[in-house]
A and B are shown apart, each in its own frame.
Chain A
Amino acid sequence: MNEQLARNSAPWPPTPLVLQDVRGPSALGGGWRRSLELLHLMALMEFRRTYTNTVFGYVWSLCRPLLLFAVLLAVFTHIVHLSAGVPDYPVLLLMNIVLFGFFAESSSTAVGSVVGQEAVVRKTQFPRLVIPLAVVVTSLFNLGLNLIVTFVFILAYGVQPLWTWLLLPVLVLWLLVITVPVAMILSALYPRFRDVAIIWAVLSTALFYATPVIYTLNGKAVHGLIGKLVSLNPLTPLFECARRWIITPDAPVHGGPLPIAVPLVLTIAIGAYAVWMFNREAPRIAEAL
């Protein structure tokens, strides 16, 4: 046993002994490399865990967006005629649900993520940022699988392949730029304010309707105050672009400088706030738990 230990041991003394400051917990405590590896492992294992325990594994997680899709499709083509005048409405709806589903799943799982990892946070030097990020990455695996299914549907529906499909990674990246900061803010707030969970449940439902998921803007803003809010939503331009790049290249542009600038500025502001706030909260998360 001791031989084995000796073999594993690095040459001793390992490096010149340099005293370095112990800086305390932080968002990326322990260095970039360690944080990245932990992120990878945590997300991978969570993903594997989700799909090895169930009989049909992945099929179940695909069922959720598909079922939602089927219900909404029935409602909006047969009861409320939102689909009128929207070409390829069913596949557009499916794609939108998959994209928004990623945002909704990541953000709602992120809320309790830090508290859920209480043991790790309170008892090891764990890079705090990795926890909400792992949640997002796990959802990202799901998104990838769901997108494959979505594209099968799109092709089967008869939509012609477009060169702009190559821009799909840009869409996903854009989605991440919005989702990650939200996940960071929620996970950092929750240990101190437990009602964040309830507020976010309501808020994300509101966002679902304030984003062109089940409807399209069709070149002009939806009327009134609600319309203004929708066009300010940072997610709106993303879904508008997704529609034109993936399904309907000639969909009218919902133009004007304001509807582009405001969501963009909001996206940047949320991102900056998330970084500032997470850095501020990270050192004291362990004490708040």
Chain B
Amino acid sequence: MSETARTHLQHGPVVIEARDVRKTFHIPEQRLDSFKERATHAFTPRVHRELDALRGIDFDVHLGEFFGIVGRNGSGKSTLLKIMASIYRADGGRIRMAGRLAPFIELGVGFNPEMTARDNVVLNGVLMGLSRREAERRLDAVIDFAELGEFTDLKLKNYSSGMTVRLAFSVTVHADADIMLIDEVLAVGDAAFAQKCMDVFRARRDAGKTVVLVTHDMATVQSFCDRAMLIHDGDLRYVGDPEEAALRYFRLNFSGAGGERLPGDIPDVNVRMIDVWLTDEHGERVENVEQGTPINLNMIVEARRELICPVFGFHFVDAQGAAVFGFTVPIDREQGEADVVRAGQRVRIGGRIANPLLPGRYGVSTLISRNRSAGDLALHLMRVLDFVVYGTNIGPGSVSVDHDVVAAVEQ
């Protein structure tokens, strides 16, 4: 989305307004679940541990925004979502909303495995605020979209998990709420369906619907959100540019107790960098690359703990830190082989990359994350390499492309 469009959105009407939202959980040190326990402990003072899940959160979401909420596990982001969805009651502060909300934070909640898909779709539609008649009217569209036409009268317990997810997502989409609250939805389904989900989110956004997404997948935040909010230990740390929110999230994640360090000296949490270097075509180490010659990248990392389905992403960034291009590489495995790197094992990544870069200073960032189908959890981020591309063919931007454009004077 272009800058002007983003600016425009931020000036749209506010549809979610949160002011000083607070929530404290009273966690009994010892749970008294029965009358007997209550009676025998009647005269001992009740010991509570107070957990401030949210300590005064303020933010606005504007009409038609795709708004991300990011934070580590236990940061309070899901509590906030539950308060917005009227599942928990806030202890203090105020949230106001405009428009109909899909009060769902997880796909397929309320599905009854003993009932047919048809019944489940209607019940779920009503749960999401449609009238019963309206839910029945949209039944066919829901089934079509989920591509489950032949299975309408099958009980849900006979559905595969993928089919259930498709049905659940389809119901959510067709409920047509003005505001959608989504908690970690994108890690479900196969790749093709995930793509379809994303297309739908874009369509929803273009139709002026507001989407609030809670996630710890920074790739989603960076590619879909118009704005993002970072929560840490119940405090609001940042609201604004999703790139910046993601960057701060990584800094928090990899620097321990919340201190902010430079990306360069991120301590080794999940992965230790053993070595990273560039080579020329003879395999000799080089610091710089000539314009137009392929970049030969080599990296050796050691797993500090077990890595499940790791994917290695590379971002080539320019001198200003803006990404120029990037790609991801999973570990090459035989069919059926477990995609797990044990603690202490080393992984060597290397190969040739076409070099479209114009002369200038560049860097390589590595993002190690868990494979999409396994939850898309970011494991590690680091800026690993700086290099210079030298040459004489200077042009606008950062890359040159092959082209067949010919200019000729007309006769």
Partners in one complex: yes
User: Could you give, for residues 322-340 of chain B, a 1 whenever the CB lies within 8 Å of some chain A CB and a 0 otherwise?
Assistant: 0000000000000000000
Contacts A14-B99, A45-B119, A124-B109 given; does A21 touch B132 at CB 8 Å = no
> B126 contacts which of A38, A122, A199 (Cβ < 8 Å)?
A38
Whether B96 and A22, one on each chain, are in contact in the complex, defined by CB atoms closer than 8 angstroms, is: yes
CB of A85 closer than 8 Å to a CB of B: no
> A192 contacts which of B33, B82, B84, B200 (Cβ < 8 Å)?
B33
Contacts A21-B96, A286-B87 given; does A4 touch B141 at CB 8 Å = yes
Bound CA span A119–B145, Å = 25
CB of B388 closer than 8 Å to a CB of A: no
CB of B115 closer than 8 Å to a CB of A: yes
Using CB atoms, name the residue of chain A closest to B203: A2
Bound CA span A35–B164, Å = 25
CB of A17 closer than 8 Å to a CB of B: yes
Stretch at the interface among A25-33, A202-210, A223-231: A25-33
Whether B122 and A194, one on each chain, are in contact in the complex, defined by CB atoms closer than 8 angstroms, is: no
User: Could you give, for residues 178-196 of chain A, a 1 whenever the CB lies within 8 Å of some chain B CB and a 0 otherwise?
Assistant: 0000000000000011110
Contacts A17-B13, A37-B132, A194-B34 given; does A124 touch B103 at CB 8 Å = yes
Whether B141 and A8, one on each chain, are in contact in the complex, defined by CB atoms closer than 8 angstroms, is: yes
Whether B131 and A37, one on each chain, are in contact in the complex, defined by CB atoms closer than 8 angstroms, is: yes
CB of B192 closer than 8 Å to a CB of A: no
6 CB < 8 A contacts A-B? A12-B207, A13-B208, A120-B110, A123-B110, A195-B36, A287-B25
Whether A17 and B98, one on each chain, are in contact in the complex, defined by CB atoms closer than 8 angstroms, is: yes
Whether B34 and A193, one on each chain, are in contact in the complex, defined by CB atoms closer than 8 angstroms, is: yes
> B122 contacts which of A13, A41, A126 (Cβ < 8 Å)?
A41
Whether A19 and B109, one on each chain, are in contact in the complex, defined by CB atoms closer than 8 angstroms, is: no
Contacts A123-B104, A124-B109, A125-B85 given; does A17 touch B126 at CB 8 Å = no
CB of A6 closer than 8 Å to a CB of B: yes
- Residues of B near A40 (CB, < 8 A) are 132
Whether A8 and B176, one on each chain, are in contact in the complex, defined by CB atoms closer than 8 angstroms, is: yes
CB of A54 closer than 8 Å to a CB of B: no
Using CB atoms, name the residue of chain A closest to B128: A124
Contacts A45-B112, A125-B86 given; does A12 touch B208 at CB 8 Å = yes
- Residues of A near B38 (CB, < 8 A) are 193
CB of A158 closer than 8 Å to a CB of B: no
Whether B87 and A122, one on each chain, are in contact in the complex, defined by CB atoms closer than 8 angstroms, is: yes
Bound CA span A220–B173, Å = 65
- Residues of B near A125 (CB, < 8 A) are 85-87, 101, 103
User: Could you give, for residues 17-57 of chain A, a 1 whenever the CB lies within 8 Å of some chain B CB and a 0 otherwise?
Assistant: 11111111100011001100110111001001100010000
- Residues of B near A18 (CB, < 8 A) are 98
Whether A194 and B33, one on each chain, are in contact in the complex, defined by CB atoms closer than 8 angstroms, is: yes
Whether A124 and B95, one on each chain, are in contact in the complex, defined by CB atoms closer than 8 angstroms, is: no
- Residues of A near B99 (CB, < 8 A) are 14-15, 17
CB of A283 closer than 8 Å to a CB of B: yes
Using CB atoms, name the residue of chain A closest to B204: A5
CB of A173 closer than 8 Å to a CB of B: no
- Residues of B near A38 (CB, < 8 A) are 123, 126-127
CB of B174 closer than 8 Å to a CB of A: yes
Whether A8 and B145, one on each chain, are in contact in the complex, defined by CB atoms closer than 8 angstroms, is: no
CB of A64 closer than 8 Å to a CB of B: no
CB distance from A97 to the nearest CB of B (A): 29
Using CB atoms, name the residue of chain A closest to B36: A195
Chain B interfacial positions (CB closer than 8 Å to A): 13-15, 17, 25, 33-36, 38, 63, 82-90, 94-101, 103-106, 109-110, 112, 114-115, 119, 122-123, 126-127, 129, 131-132, 138, 141, 144-145, 173-174, 176, 178, 199-200, 203-204, 207-208
- Residues of B near A84 (CB, < 8 A) are none
Bound CA span A12–B199, Å = 20
Question: Which of A25, A41, A123, A126 gathers the greatest number of chain B CB atoms within 10 Å?
Answer: A123
Q: A19-B97, A124-B127 are in contact. List 6 more A-B contacts (CB 8 A).
A: A4-B144, A5-B176, A41-B122, A123-B109, A124-B109, A126-B110
Whether A123 and B87, one on each chain, are in contact in the complex, defined by CB atoms closer than 8 angstroms, is: yes
Whether A9 and B14, one on each chain, are in contact in the complex, defined by CB atoms closer than 8 angstroms, is: no
Whether A41 and B126, one on each chain, are in contact in the complex, defined by CB atoms closer than 8 angstroms, is: yes
Whether A123 and B105, one on each chain, are in contact in the complex, defined by CB atoms closer than 8 angstroms, is: yes
CB of A1 closer than 8 Å to a CB of B: yes
- Residues of A near B89 (CB, < 8 A) are 23-25, 283-284
Whether A25 and B86, one on each chain, are in contact in the complex, defined by CB atoms closer than 8 angstroms, is: yes
- Residues of A near B200 (CB, < 8 A) are 1, 5
> B104 contacts which of A24, A124, A194, A283 (Cβ < 8 Å)?
A124
Contacts A12-B207, A119-B110, A195-B36 given; does A24 touch B90 at CB 8 Å = yes
- Residues of A near B36 (CB, < 8 A) are 195
Whether B123 and A34, one on each chain, are in contact in the complex, defined by CB atoms closer than 8 angstroms, is: no
CB of A79 closer than 8 Å to a CB of B: no
Using CB atoms, name the residue of chain A closest to B38: A193
User: Could you give, for residues 253-289 of chain A, a 1 whenever the CB lies within 8 Å of some chain B CB and a 0 otherwise?
Assistant: 0000000000000000000000000000001101100
Bound CA span A120–B109, Å = 6
> A193 contacts which of B35, B85, B95, B131 (Cβ < 8 Å)?
B35
Bound CA span A13–B12, Å = 12
Whether A37 and B126, one on each chain, are in contact in the complex, defined by CB atoms closer than 8 angstroms, is: yes
CB of A67 closer than 8 Å to a CB of B: no
> A30 contacts which of B112, B119, B129 (Cβ < 8 Å)?
B129
CB distance from A26 to the nearest CB of B (A): 8
CB distance from B204 to the nearest CB of A (A): 8
Which residues A152-205 have CB closer than 8 A to chain B? 192-195, 199
Bound CA span A53–B115, Å = 10
CB of A10 closer than 8 Å to a CB of B: yes
Whether A25 and B87, one on each chain, are in contact in the complex, defined by CB atoms closer than 8 angstroms, is: yes
Contacts A29-B86, A123-B105 given; does A9 touch B33 at CB 8 Å = no
Contacts A37-B126, A45-B112, A123-B105 given; does A19 touch B34 at CB 8 Å = no
Bound CA span A5–B207, Å = 9
Bound CA span A13–B15, Å = 12
Whether A119 and B33, one on each chain, are in contact in the complex, defined by CB atoms closer than 8 angstroms, is: no
- Residues of A near B131 (CB, < 8 A) are 33, 37
